[in-house]
Chain A
Amino acid sequence: MKTRMQPIGNVLTKFQRVIRDLSRDLNKKIELTLEGTETELDKTLLEAIKDPLTHIVRNSCDHGIETPEERKKSGKLETGRIYIRSYHEGGQVVVDIQDDGKGLNKEKLLSKALEKGILSQERLSQLSERDIYHLIFAPGFSTAAQVTNVSGRGVGMDVVKNNIEKIGGQVELLSQLGKGMTVRLKIPLTLAIVPAMIIRTGEARYAIPQVKLVELVRVEANTSTEQIEYLQGKPMYRLRGNLLPLVNLKEVLGLSVEDGKTQSITNIVVLNAEGQMFGLIVDEIQDTADIVVKPLSQFLKSLSLYSGATVLGDGSVALILDVTGLANTVHLSAKAKEDASLAAGASDARIRSNDLQEFLLFKVNAAGKYSIPLNLVHRLEEFRSDQVEFSGAQRVIRYRGDILPIISLNAYLKFPTQTEESKNRLSVIVVRKSDKHYGIEVNDILDVCSVDANVDDSLKDRPGILGNIIMGEEVVVIVDILEVLSGERERLGQKEVKIGSNASEKAITDYDARRANFPIFFAEDTAFFRKHVTKVLQGAGYPVVTANDGKEAFEKLESSTSDVKLILSDIEMPKMNGLELAKNLRKIEKWKPVPMIALTTKFSERSVKEGKEAGFNEYLEKMNAEQLINKIDSYLLKN
């Protein structure tokens, strides 16, 4: 607590200078006297009152204190005085800003209010003195005869009032015409009282600050239509079509979770942690209460799960949950998992993309639907099981004069495979990669669906899964078909194509070694493509640095001292698109000579022309790995 309390003098002393500067600008003589600078105030509050205070002081100088001539005329000292006094009173800190200027002129205030239409004529008579003074807090109210750069700009006292009230304080005005006025700020000692929701989990009760709370959901096992689903072993809840990841508070706190007993009612507290929504499963939702936040001892601060403790009405102590800390605790594990499976590429736990993408939906031997991006699909075929031949243990099918290896997705994803053997028809998705065709065998091909949704890649429980997506009312698992293929190719003894298939072995190794010296920067917002292209590039031997959108890319490159030799970029990205990125980068001396290649799915003469004008050297198609590598080689290695 003590560390949070700071003397108000830290803020007040800087007004000496503000006033010195102002009096010079305004040709007035003003002296500032500070009292009670040692009065302590919560650090956050101090921060919050800094701007309002500055404004009040500037107001006093500009409107309050008269010019030396005026002052002489009214029999005052030439030098105006401003006092700032702070002291404790009734559990609050009071800050008085007093000047000996002309004070508030009631007539002037009223006529101004009428003129601005803030007041109607008939309301005038009903106003008390206090009400009239408080007119200066009305938005857009200014009595300054002319607008100066000091005040009279119409944004002013209303903002002061709002800011002070936001932190639970009050503003009062005392004024005497011709003698001066006092602005009195009453500020609570700390921000320590917050409305909270009290919940129970296990034996103990916890408080959750209301500001973080979005809603409460109660799921009844028998009656509700919406149920808690388990996606890759993690609980999920569909909240009005949005996928809400659930977190069991018991699990987070390391309390024992009674597994066998399925509860008939699940209480979910929907929380918002800096934009990230998640549901917290608790045993019981009790009540709301205004709680007094008491900080935890210094040595418990490292427990980011709690933001403090409070004494409840019955005298027991409850911990206050820190929602952001809670989200971080939960996400860290997910992130670590992702980092392990994703050697490079995406670094965010959640990657959002707004590309409208088409997906092919199919069934495998697992609950739910699975899908792959449609643009990877070459053809859909159905084969009779007697068409299947064997090359060693590998199932193959003669397909258009070529041999089509059949890869069972069930086997790859380690789902049971029995049923597919007994079937006499095979549903096969033919995928083309590097001039070779591959047959991916699935149980059933269902549908093609076009969704504008975010691929959530924070959840994947096995290799071969890229993430999840919400389609309508369902969660669909996206299979990382490229990973499946490269995994299978290794098994089938086919080398990853490093350069055009006719290149000799020697050339490949030679290229490999040289490629390592040419780092490539890649900006792409869609997780799927970012991962794929990164893989292709790294497979070829290029070091890759990625960014999730144009803005991030620009920020990384702008400041970076890196030796990036070539920049790849998507065109359609949020925040800053590829064209802007290219234009901005071309303005920087360092990036002027660096080749830039646009990777896109959109090809029209116009877009290519636009791209070249923006500074791209080349336009390439997203999914064509060989072409990409060849092009990059031609830029970096051949000259």
Chain B
Amino acid sequence: MSKLKELLTMTFTGLIALVLISACTSSEPRQKFTLRVGIFPVLDALPYFVMKERELAEKYGIAFEESAYPGGAAVLDALSAGKADVGPTIGTVPVLTAAERGMIPDKIIPAAANDFADPEHPGMAVLADNSINGWRDLDGKQIAVNAKNSITAAALIGRLKREGVRNCTLVEIEFPNMGLAVAGGNVAAAGLMEPFLSQSLLRGDGKLLDWVIGGPPFERFEYTMVVFNADIYRKRPAAVKAFLRAYLKAVSWIRQHPDEARLILGRALNLNPDVTRQIKLLRFTSDGRNDPALLESMQPLLIDIGMLKKRIPAGQLYDEKLLGEVLSERR
């Protein structure tokens, strides 16, 4: 009887050990919220890539359902149509035009600033064919922009105006194809952002004419914002706050580990390691606060080149209530 008891004890001990081992190896991460993320996979999406790769989203209880779009404006359309919950890389110009169209705060709500450009962190440049030696050489030429209503186009037009070049044709070519378009002679120049700029320069597609964001006409610029679908923002504030917590954590990590952040960007965008090393990062602020003065000062030029009809008060552009609550948790 005692032998049977001993055998049973050993068997149960073994089984418990097996159950414990399997329980430990298959433990599910804690997830509370699922957010549909509309992503334009460029440099601005770095915090999002960091959130994913460093599992910050899981840590803060978020699961992402990701959809890629060809530009910030397309993500904005998806947000307003309810096809996406959050767009972490929406350009400020699409946000301004959306405000003009009355979409804020009915359809979309920008909840935080994503990144900024300044002369130390330039955001967009003109890549020109090697035969182009100055702005005036672009007169009568074709120039590639990703979209004619984009900030690239706005910055380019503003700069061309300032340089006295008035007879250019803008051709819409996606960012990844611009370098080859310049190299192949399809266009004389292209308004390029990172990492495509570094990629094209390394490949010898053309030369850097000058920065147009982080340089004139937009020396300082609020580049992109984190925008939520309005319903999500109002009805699921806990999910929005969870995202903002993870986002701020990611930004803090990027500021502390810029080189590792470049590597994450390289992996996310399938970049050549040489390109990854050369990428110029934009300025990510640790508190995600918008800069109302900058948002106001950017607008006259946009109105001047016809991208905006009238000035929009910065206070009408965003809602930082939930961001403020998240920031107060840190204190």
A binds B: no
